[in-house]
Amino acid sequence: MKIQEVVSNQKAFFNTQQTKNIKFRKMYLEKLRDIIINNENLLCEAIHKDFGKSKFDTFTTELSFVLNDIDYYLKNLNSLSKPKKVTTNLANQIGKSSIHPEPLGCVLVIGAWNYPYQLSLSPMIAALAAGNCCILKPSEIAENTMKAMAKLINENFPPEYLYVYEGGIDETTELLKLKFDKIFFTGSTKVGKIVYKAAAEHLTPVVLELGGKSPAIVTKDADLEIAAKRIVWGKFLNAGQTCVAPDYLLVEESIHEQFMEMLRKYITEFQYGPDAEQYTRIINRRNFDRLVKLIPEDKLYFGGNSDTEKLYIEPTLLNNINWEDDVMQEEIFGPILPVISFTNFNLILTTILELEKPLAAYLFTRNSEEKEAFKSKLSFGGGCINDVIMHLGNDRLPFGGVGNSGIGNYHGKYGFEAFSHQKSILEKATWGEPSIKYPPYTEKKLSWIKKLL
């Protein structure tokens, strides 16, 4: 079946109004949950083939997010979909005002390869919960997970409601020529601009979940052991192929050498060897070669070893880095952590402000003034104080970028809202009609309108 036909059929099916039924949405969300649970081994095998992800990491960083999303919407769908009454102003009396969440129609979700299940299925689930029909285009870079999702969904869901479209750049380009009611894209800023431009041709609204260079700041008032342990875990999770991983580290000069040794200690303790279950390989040779070139031997503090055949890059610490180094010019998206020393906390915040707004930012300190300055001065998508990445685990927090790191957000109710239109309704009584707004106009009527408005 051609994709144009699938999209056309989805638009026709949406117009039957079936997806607006809450029972209908819950039925298919429950079905999806059962399919994921019953096929966990198949999903784990597919992602392990793509880049060596363990069952532990696949569940904790992928499937648990997806299953929690389904449970959230099953529990909250009635309240999320319910019309909300709002106050009616004096000029519209006698009347009642309300906001009605309604689905947008046929939407396109373009997933990413680094967390191929979470970053494809989570926005898709939000779209279905909001009552839309959906085309899912997983990343072809993680080919086996793409095929696994296509198999499980296309064999169990009607294509006029939900369909996984396989393929690469050509297929994605073909998709972007079609008119959707919303496009949700997760990936690089470079490709995000292409998606945004294509969407503009149809005035299609977008959510763009991009990336950027996310800083982590460690001051002398931090709990250094906790900071080192959590930064090492968050940075080298998924071999650094995480959009909200700390991209670079800013450490106060007085604790710099001490902290570097703590980072080295935890990297060693966590045993990120070439065959370690807790460490993935780089997704492909192109990304492997790009990352290896970002490791300058003269600034290597720890790690740096690599294996081309296994697509393995050892967790790497770079010291004495400056802002002009190659590793600071682009998002790293790999297991390389450059470290820059600073002496003035407020000055380093000003330096970050001059850069593109990142998807995430992190601060490690016990100093309340530093915490307040971090929260009030810096603009970023989301972040943590005294931790990294874990803000994603709270479905009551919106997840999304700002500026160069993205447009829009999702997770929990924010995902439902991302795929909904808030329709405004004013219902007026047919009695008690004042004549003040009708012609002929008089000075007396204008005087009353000024008082009312």
Catalytic residues, by residue number, are: 209, 243
The number of residues making up the chain comes to 453
d(CA 399, CA 412): 9
Backbone angles phi, psi at 246, to 5 degrees: -55, 120
Nearest to 183 by CA among 129, 127, 142, 131: 127
d(CA 221, CA 255): 10
Secondary structure of residue 296 in the 3-state scheme: coil
Tally the C-alpha atoms within 13 A of residue 398's C-alpha that lie toward its C-beta: 18
Nearest to 388 by CA among 357, 358, 408, 368: 358
The three-point CA angle 47-48-51 to 5° equals: 85
Backbone angles phi, psi at 87, to 5 degrees: -65, 140
Give 273's contacts (C-beta < 8 A, 6+ positions apart).
279
Q: Secondary structure of the chain: what % helix, strand, coil (to 5)?
A: 45, 20, 35
Under 8 Å between Cβ of 118 and 62:
yes
Cβ neighbour number for residue 332 with a 10 Å cutoff:
25
Strands across the sheet with 215-218, in order?
300-302, 316-318, 336-342, 248-252, 215-218, 360-364, 382-385
d(CA 201, CA 73): 32
Report in angstroms the alpha-carbon separations of 386 from 222, 252, 370, 373, 411.
8, 15, 12, 15, 22
Secondary structure of residue 311 in the 3-state scheme: coil
What is the helix (H) or strand (E) element at residue 186, kind and residue range? Answer: strand 182-186
